[in-house]
Structure 1
Amino acid sequence: MATLFFDMDGTLINSEIGITRCVAHALMQMGLEVPSDTELRRWIGPSLRTSFAPLLHDDEKVEQAVLHYRDRFEMHGWAEHEVYAGITDAIEALHEAGHRLAVVTAKNEPHARKIAEHLPFGHRFVDIVGATIDGSRSHKPELIAEALHRLGADAAECWMIGDRRMDIEGALHHRMRHVGVLWGFGGAEELRDAGAECLVSRPDELPALLAA
């Protein structure tokens, strides 16, 4: 059976409210105008530093913004999400089929672990691999490399499953098979432009696809 790496935001959970409210909080604390909801949704997926840097143009200010984001996230944002309909059954079916499951996310790892602990299927994941607090490991190729190392896995026997271009690009970097999911934040055009050849519209499509 395969080892399956799941992205978190936009793949397992709809975390739009938590993330966008925390970004808005950080921007207000930095004295910046809060953009539209459409613009804020684009922050879901990339690392925080990647998203704050073009606005702040200063490493120290970026770190301040990240701290403001974390302050609210640790109080409220981590719980402001919903599990996607059908994903629990899909995870259980994949586990029952014998696949090894893990999370690989650009969220910082302590936050990702806290969220996973409260998911109805969180115990099915053998590990939660996330970004380091200092940002030294935050991009998908690095995160996937860390997951492969921890699990002692061969990339040829793994799949990356996610909703954004970063998930596809990270998988391709490691010559890993991948699935783009359409219930998240990226959309078909973004995923195809990143190189995705396999897209699914619903979580219940995953078990049959990964059994093929």
Structure 2
Amino acid sequence: MHHNPDCLSTQPVPEGRRIVFLDVDGTLIDSFPGIREGYLQALDSVGVAHPDEEFIRRIPGPPMEVTLRNSGLNEQQVTEAFGAYMDYTRSGQAPRATAFPGVEKLLSQWKREGLYLSTATSKGEHFARLTLEELGLLQHLDFLAAATEDGPRRDKASVIDYALSSLGLTDRTGDILMVGDRLHDVEGARAHGLSTCIVTWGYGAPEEWEHADFVAHSPEELARIVHEFTS
């Protein structure tokens, strides 16, 4: 049965339950084809040349407006290009995201073990919910913490802040493991004192992995790390 994670938004997490915060793009799902196409269309909308594939491979994860600034756009161009990116995302033309192999099994296993699972994603809330539901992953989650598409909650640290305050966890950061695939996941979690694990099947580079407390090269290894952290 699908349940709506929002219905738990005012319920503090019961004492004694261990908690995992999960990044979405690059950790649970492979959304790169759609993000890549939207990004290139955004650049085209302001007449900016495409960077090389090495740069493009690293764009999933951070908020798109940050990526556009890093691509050399001025603020006016960022606003215009971000509008074009959102238009593309809303158009329904983007290639479908897929769940990484083993992820759905992992989430259902963690739910059976009684872990509390929340996302902590820079993906906009509407698209995060839609995609996770479509891929059958939403049903395993207790809470959906995502970015606001047009509001102040955009970067990872502010999404984590939202999750902590919504769930009454500001004094229980030692109970939480943040799982992501990029350096900004680690930095956002560190800003709140959370332990971190990076998965290597996402969009990060090896030099990003060394900043995390743990590194998982496979879903099986992630299962072991989470088990040891939460037991």
- Give the TM-score of the pair, scaled to structure 2: 0.85
Q: How do 1:76-95 and structure 2 match up within 5 A?
A: 76=92, 80-95=96-111
Residue 175 in structure 1 maps to residue 193 in structure 2: yes
- Contact kept, 8 Å, 1:168 with 1:191, in 2: the verdict is no
Residue 24 in structure 1 maps to residue 37 in structure 2: no
Residue 46 in structure 1 maps to residue 62 in structure 2: yes
* Closer/same/farther in 2, CA of residues 77 and 42 from structure 1, 3 Å limit: farther
Deviations 1:36-87 (A, max 9, x none): 33221221111111111242212x3212111110111122366522211111
Deviations 1:158-209 (A, max 9, x none): 11000000111111111111111111011332121xx212101011222222
**Of Structure 1 and Structure 2, which has the larger fraction of its residues in helix?**
1
Partners of 1:10 and 1:118 in 2: CA distance: 17
Alignment-mate amino acid for residue 62 of structure 1? V
In the alignment, which residue of structure 1 is the partner of 2:10? none
Unaligned 5+ residue runs, structure 2?
1-16
How many residue pairs get aligned? The number is 209
Tell me whether 130-139 or 180-189 shows the greater mean CA deviation.
130-139
1:5 counterpart SS class: strand
Partners of 1:124 and 1:152 in 2: CA distance: 20
In the alignment, which residue of structure 2 is the partner of 1:186? 204
Unaligned 5+ residue runs, structure 1?
none
1:57 maps to which of 74, 79, 88: 74
Alignment-mate amino acid for residue 124 of structure 2? N
1:169 counterpart SS class: helix
Partners of 2:146 and 2:109 in 1: CA distance: 24
Partners of 1:28 and 1:119 in 2: CA distance: 30
Deviations 1:6-40 (A, max 9, x none): 10110001111010000011111111112233221
Partners of 2:109 and 2:205 in 1: CA distance: 25
- Contact kept, 8 Å, 2:38 with 2:94, in 1: the verdict is no
| CA root-mean-square deviation | 1.6
1:69 maps to which of 69, 75, 85: 85
* Closer/same/farther in 2, CA of residues 107 and 35 from structure 1, 3 Å limit: same
- Give the TM-score of the pair, scaled to structure 1: 0.92
- Contact kept, 8 Å, 1:104 with 1:143, in 2: the verdict is yes
- Contact kept, 8 Å, 2:68 with 2:78, in 1: the verdict is yes
The percentage of aligned residue pairs carrying the same residue is: 30
1:152 maps to which of 165, 168, 178: 168
Residue 99 in structure 1 maps to residue 135 in structure 2: no
**Of Structure 1 and Structure 2, which has the larger fraction of its residues in strand?**
1
Alignment-mate amino acid for residue 179 of structure 1? C
Residue 14 in structure 1 maps to residue 30 in structure 2: yes
